[in-house]
Amino acid sequence: MSAGSMAVIAVPVVLPLAVGALAVGGAAFLIARAAARGAELAAEGAVMLGDAMDAEAGRLAGERRAADRWRDATAVVVRHNAQITALRAAAGKVPVTLTLPEPLDVAGSDMATIRSWCADTEKGLARARAVLSGHVAGEACRRLAQRLGGEAEPVITAAEALARARAGAAPVKAASPGGAAARIDARLAKLDPGVSTREYAQILEVAARTRTATSVQAQRSGLDQLLRLIHDANAAARRRHEDAVTAGAYLQSFRATGIPDAGDGGAARVVENLNAVVAGDAPLDAALRARAEELNGRALCRAQQMYLRETVAALMRASGWEVSGEDQVLTLTRGDWPGHYATVDVGDRLVRGRVVRRVPPTGIDGRRQDRERCQDFARDFEGLAAGLRVEHGRPRVSADEEVEVAARPEPISRVRQERKARRRS
């Protein structure tokens, strides 16, 4: 190649290593991907994770399958972490104490740790939801009794019995199969545990009035109304839940990648609004979702760059280099290179390396040494390209074929002028 040209090797974008524990950049990359792909993927990931870790664990083979396993595991962790945060926010508004696990940081976690944590967390989340649902039921009954007063004692008593039965605290009187009471019980059994106190109170009142109705027409009308109320309440509860999980996933992505940056007021407001969604105080509307997705695109690019930098550093260390620098540019040194070092500029689509000479070369031997250093470095860079893993897109790995001089000599004319000035003095 001509002097000054650049050798370019096309390689795939990396995937996080599928063995051992995830590094910070790899974790950030997977968290940002989980947030970008949304709650639907996270729900699918929960099923896939269980299959991969249990029934299909023995059949996983190859880097691609293992990388998919990490992706799905991270998606489940992100979803569980978001649910933990949302439940804590909900519990903070009412006089109940929830025993919840601490959110898991996938950075530094191995697959065995993630598997154990997910199993324990699923149980802990179910218990917490039951406690919170029990409180909502009790509060709904108190509101209903306060609103209706003593004249509606039969309705209040029936509502309290239905609430206790649904919570598993006490059975209700056995209902004849196919009768109105049995149909009420069947409808209440489908009620989402995340319904609000207001929705629950309204549903209990209709259910209790229907159960105590004395005419077939009143029972039918009540059952129809109960069906509509439960349908609407469940839809609202699922929407709040998915909004909170999605918002929580965005927030985890931003924390992992350091967004918002200092002074970015717009991003800070997005984070504030997302926290309100997690707390159940606001919906995740289209405008907020679009802004969060825009920020997460930035987070994904940054996370990919973080992971690329980590991977490049690890692979070059494995080739015998000492690596320093935590920003975009890495500095590589070797004990047998006293007069040279290398720098690697890690971008999101280009990894570029160059050899740097500390002082200008002297004569033919210096220039020959420069060529040898460039050849040695290029060989290690070819190994770097082979060590990166497949995903979407193709960044470039390149090594400059000319040595850069860190401190260039002063121009001859200037040197002569300085000598003359010293002689005059």
Q: What six digits make up the tokens of 314?
A: 């690890």
Q: Which helix (H) or strand (E) holds 189?
A: helix 180-189
Q: Does 313 have pLDDT greater than 70?
A: yes
- Structure confidence by residue, pLDDT tens digits, 70-129: 888 999 999 999 999 999 999 999 999 999 999 999 988 899 999 999 999 999 999 999
- Structure confidence by residue, pLDDT tens digits, 161-195: 998 887 765 454 544 556 888 999 999 999 999 99
Which pTM value belongs to this model? 0.77
Residue 323 β-bridge partners: 332
| 159/312 Cα distance (integer angstroms) | 64
| 27/32 Cα distance (integer angstroms) | 9
Domain residue ranges of the chain, discontinuous segments joined by +:
24-301, 319-405
Q: What six digits make up the tokens of 144?
A: 């209903």
Q: Identify the burial level of 192 via C-beta atoms within 10 angstroms of its C-beta, where 0-12 means exposed, 13-18 middle and 19 or more buried.
A: middle
| 193/214 Cα distance (integer angstroms) | 30
DSSP string, 353-381: EEEEESS---HHHHHHHHHHHHHHHHHHH
| 264/291 Cα distance (integer angstroms) | 13
Residue type, 40: E
